[in-house]
Amino acid sequence: MILNQPGTRRFRAYTSKHLDELLQRAGLGDEERLKVRAVATVLPFRTNAYVVDELIDWSAAPDDPIYRLVFPQEDMLPAADVARLADLLKAEAPNAEVQAEANRVRAQLNPHPAGQKELNVPRIGDEPVPGMQHKYSETVLFFPKQGQTCHAYCTYCFRWAQFVGDADLKFASDDIDQMVGYIRQHPEVTSVLITGGDAMIMGETVIRRYIEPLIGLEQLESIRIGTKALAYWPQRFTTDPDAADTLKLFEQVVDAGKNLAFMAHFTHPRELESPMVEAAVKGILGSGATIRTQAPLIRTINDDPEIWSGMWRRQLRMGMIPYYMFVERDTGPQDYFAVPLARAYEIFRDAYASVSGLCRTVRGPSMSATPGKVCVDGVTEIAGERVFVLHFIQARDASLVGRPFFARYDPTAVWLTDLRPAFADRFPFESEDALLMV
């Protein structure tokens, strides 16, 4: 479905060189803007005209949730680090000096969580396969070289290290034959997730080069595309020059008998309100693809059960499938955005309780941690001890999937590594066999 809209504009990106001008629009003073620019030397900044003009309520900035979703905040990093970087910028220090300090700060932010550079990289023989991750036996992640950016960056993004210009921090490959060859060598692989960045930053002719070879792999049941394009640039599926060809490609995947699933990120209800989003969703669903929705729980942006239940209801009405509520990952400005696990469970429980069964396809709150996806099922009291009840939705060690385990209740814990085992001296994933897999 191509939506012909009067005044439709071509994509325009805003990067760090536009940041100061945009911050003035938010009413920030000189010192405030300097500190935000200092943060932006460490963490990536990119947005676009659709987000700026259609999604952000500038009268409410800098407190507007969409503004906070895409613009750096001065308190996202330790004050001492921000002050040092601000002093360098104010003194107009050489770029090499600024970048050296920025790199020092980045190194403290756990740029590659969950062992993704050491534990998830597959090998052919003794050689690592670049641009791929294989954490769970049935699923391979592929990072196409041309998809390693986004229409706009989220300030909470756990893959922020992909976007800061350091080749050592990137996953990327354009070796399609190697990807296909690896999958053929691993018949247990039934699903490929094309991710980034954002796969839908690529034009149709480019993404076709990656997808068409996968269609011929009989072992594959599904092809997934990780994207926030529906929220940040829905025109990609409606009025962009290759929108119609893109939807035809999706039809080709479905007609070949594969499940094509869009893993769409919607972090706030406002991202769902535009008629352009509705048109884009209809076009994708009309191709035969499915859309599953997911997002992390982010302090100051969506840490309210009514926000989540409202999003799930609207997504259901639009034909999408609520899929995951994630816990903010242990990387980047986690301390700034994280919601304690106890509160995360309460938010999920209250939102889940207020929607119909058709919305209860959603899972969470889920931590994508080193041993696997850990779901917080609840807080209860057993034998006089208050505990978290947890289970693995997915795990490196498949024998752990679905098995409940317990952690001592800690109201301040925000991640799996903050928890301590209850009724045992170690967690199930800390057994000798599981540790060998990690």
Chain segment 8-56, per-residue pLDDT in tens: 568 999 999 999 999 999 999 999 999 999 999 998 899 999 999 999 9
Supply the pLDDT for residue 170.
Answer: 63
- DSSP annotation of 77: S
CA distance 209 to 206: 5
Supply the pLDDT for residue 168.
Answer: 58
- 301-354: pLDDT as tens digits: 999 999 999 999 999 999 999 999 999 988 878 888 999 999 999 999 999 999
Per-residue pLDDT at 5 exceeds 70: no
Supply the pLDDT for residue 22.
Answer: 95
* Nearest Cα to Cα of residue 148 among 134, 162, 166, 158: 162
Supply the pLDDT for residue 280.
Answer: 98
Q: What is the mean pLDDT of residues 187-191?
A: 97
Q: What is the mean pLDDT of residues 206-214?
A: 96
The answer to whether the CB of 38 falls within 8 A of the CB of 19 is no
Per-residue pLDDT at 7 exceeds 90: no
Write out the two tokens for 59.
């009268």
Per-residue pLDDT at 209 exceeds 60: yes
The answer to whether the CB of 106 falls within 8 A of the CB of 425 is no
Per-residue pLDDT at 162 exceeds 80: no
Per-residue pLDDT at 174 exceeds 90: no
Write out the two tokens for 386.
């208050």
Provide the edge-to-edge strand list for the sheet that holds 385-395: 132-136, 139-142, 191-194, 222-227, 259-265, 290-297, 321-327, 363-369, 372-382, 385-395, 404-408
Strands (E), 298-412: 321-327, 363-369, 372-382, 385-395, 404-408
* Nearest Cα to Cα of residue 143 among 182, 192, 80: 192
DSSP 3-state percent helix, strand, coil across the chain (nearest 5): 40, 20, 35
Mean pLDDT, the chain, rounded, equals: 91
Per-residue pLDDT at 438 exceeds 90: no
Maximum Cα–Cα distance across the chain: 66
Per-residue pLDDT at 296 exceeds 80: yes
Q: Which residues pair with 386 in a beta bridge?
A: 381
Residue 319: is it exposed, middle or buried by C-beta count within 10 angstroms (0-12/13-18/19+)? middle
Write out the two tokens for 328.
């903010």
Cα radius of gyration rounded to whole Å, the chain: 22
Per-residue pLDDT at 119 exceeds 80: no
pLDDT band for 118, please (50, 70, 90 cuts).
Answer: low
The answer to whether the CB of 45 falls within 8 A of the CB of 130 is no
- What Cα–Cα distance (Å) separates residue 198 from each residue in 38, 208, 405? 26, 15, 35
Q: What is the mean pLDDT of residues 200-209?
A: 96
Write out the two tokens for 110.
């756990």
Supply the pLDDT for residue 433.
Answer: 55
pLDDT band for 437, please (50, 70, 90 cuts).
Answer: very low
- 211-249: pLDDT as tens digits: 999 999 999 999 999 999 999 999 999 999 999 999 999
Q: What are phi and psi of 142, to 5 degrees?
A: -125, 135
CA distance 345 to 377: 7
Per-residue pLDDT at 435 exceeds 60: no
Supply the pLDDT for residue 333.
Answer: 82
- What Cα–Cα distance (Å) separates residue 242 from each residue in 202, 235, 277? 10, 10, 17
* Nearest Cα to Cα of residue 222 among 279, 179, 263, 181: 263
- 247-281: pLDDT as tens digits: 999 999 999 999 999 999 999 999 999 999 999 99
